[in-house]
Structure 1
Amino acid sequence: MGEIRLKSLKGKTIVLGITGGIAAYKAASLTSKLVQKGAEVHVIMTASAKQFITELTLQSLSKQRVYSDTFQERDPSSISHIDLADSADLVLIAPATANIIAKMAHGIADDMLSTMLLAATSPVMVAPAMNVHMYQHPAVLNNINILASRGIQFIEPGEGMLACGYVGKGRLEEPETIVSCIEIFFAMQNSAASGPLVGKKVVITAGGTVERIDPVRYISNDSSGKMGFALARVARAMGAEVVLIAARTDEAPPQELDLQVVRVQSAQDMYEAVTSVWDDCDILISAAAVSDYRPKQSSDVKIKKSGETMTLELIKTTDILETLGKAKQKQFKIGFAAETGNAEVYAKDKLVRKNCDLIVANDVSVAGAGFGTDTNIVSIYDVNGLVLDLPLQSKDEVARRLLTLAAERISGVTL
């Protein structure tokens, strides 16, 4: 079976800013992969970055002059940082330290990279990399929010062992994933008339629903919304009209996408939102973790502590996927089965009971496949059995493979 491949980066000019962190060594692989994809890569290094990796390395890989000094002008007919800013189709900062993020947020221009950023009119992507405590510092989070509000796109750091010895979020995302994000970005720009899902309406649910006990307590789950957001990004890249119905999520929905976002809270809210767009939906992807039960009664005021125990009576919520399965006509339905064992058995049963066309199973107890991660490990089934078995990879890549399969199924053509 063939695959839909996102457009190459041929003809694209990417200005790559490298700042001073140990993750700067990954910039060599990133540069190489971008060049292999056809991009013209111009590297700007900060003085600190040169402590970790040499200009010669990046020059050899990019086949372009590497810049680091604002005042080292070699061509009297031009000003380098302005020319670079003007030529860029995309500016990528990877790795981005807390320092450069702060400079960007507050308009500081005291070196070649920060000065170029003030002159740039192209889209800007930032891939942070730093100690987990630095990444969680209120000042850093505030600066990230400032930049996000201006339309700066972030490639979130991964989780794992950091160079400082800590384990947590702050590791620069892998070069392969960064390149994939860039491919998706450019594909979105070019997909208006050429994507395999052009003319199709894709409804995606994401996050975990919230069932209120009282104004300060609720029942929910660990779903972060990341898989749903990845699906929304890729569906738009493939040309679809996307409605993203998001419950509680760890982060805001993608701001850079031209899609309809509906925020909901409870399972009932999500059911009503999905049914309101069901009739003209072509593909429904139920990636949200919807609560199976809700409190029979919820209080309008905080319930005060009394006694040693508290009894909470729960009743079933509406099963969205099963209810719509009975009403399915032309719609192509994709469900998710997050399990902690026997994923294949439970997924196949869910596929049949809820009249899905495809079911995506993952064991959330396995490292790299759980809630809140940027990666996933999934198996995709249809009524005849296993269709795709995908090893550990980014959620964007999982989304691409799944939506490629869906596009093939609804068109009847192997793409």
Structure 2
Amino acid sequence: MPLDENTPLNSLGFAKPPAETRVVVAMSGGVDSSVVAAQLAAEGYDVVGVTLQLYDHGAALAKKGACCAGRDIHDARRVAEEVGFPHYVLDYESVFRDAVIDEFADSYLAGATPVPCIRCNERVKFRDLLETARDLDADCMATGHYIQRRVGAQGPELHCAADAGRDQSYFLFSTTPEQLAYLRFPLGHLGSKAETRALAARHGLRVADKPDSQDICFVPDGNYAGVIEKLRPGAAEPGEIVHADGRVLGTHNGVIHYTIGQRRGLGIGGLEEPLYVVRLDVDSHRVIVGPKDMLATRTVPVREINWLGDTPLTSRSEWHVSVKLRSTRPPREAVLRPLSETGAEVELLTPEEGVSPGQACVVYETGGTRVLGGGWIWRGY
């Protein structure tokens, strides 16, 4: 009996046997991508593992909490050897510096709070690495991200992971429809990280108990300001810490040491009221502080929007949606008003604190799991 045209013959959605389906797996050396590679190989797919060397990993060697370091490259290679599929390490250091690290440094110096992991997915993993996968004649590329790809009436859709605690949709909003057609996320349906580790143990992977990465890969010790000072020597100029009412409260050693919403470590103790960083004035090298209520924001301007909805962003005058303004915060109801095909104003129904330029604004369908797109917050009010 012939198959219905919508019925996939294999788990990756291709109407051919797994052995005839080549899949490139982006391997970071962690447990997630290792499980993806091992599971697909066990299902009989023609698996090719690829690991990117993104920066000089010597300084981060064997440090916990960072991805893509030397130890991780070694772990990815070992998984490939033990499971039995080819593995390649590609030197992307110059690409990564040009596409991610330089912008990270410049954004911090401009008073923004960048999210380099999003830029890495957008400009390196889902662009250059994806093209490498095509060059290897792969049918698709798979990653260990916790997010779901579903095929809807208009084509592939991006949805939150089944495990809300592991969901990585905030970091993948810039995935284009063309990329989504080629990508696969085999872990998105799992209910917990424990399930992933159990799969790793079942496949006999030594990385089954490996700790998750926590920090930005090129900042393995979490000291962002230290990295900025190395990348842009002399860029951190001292200045004043000023209350919103104009009082000078102290001095600082560089705006790069502060972020919007910060309370601790301001160096202005002895005051009766708790104060927060409410604005960074880069031109005058001033850190503006004020009471918590000054952090509340209802209107958020967004640009560089990547839209994944079934109809164009500008097909409506306003969209009733949910948005996330930080990866660690739950979605908030909002009204999205398009200003152009890539720009919009977001009105939050309830104010959000600590909204910072450089962060992402990710848009979801209200009450659902679908990611409708997102963009970059470009200035504060």
TM > 0.5 between the two? no
**Shorter-chain TM-score tier:** under 0.3
Q: Which has the larger radius of gyration?
A: 1
More helix by share: 1
Q: Which has the higher contact order (CA 8 A, sep 6+)?
A: 2
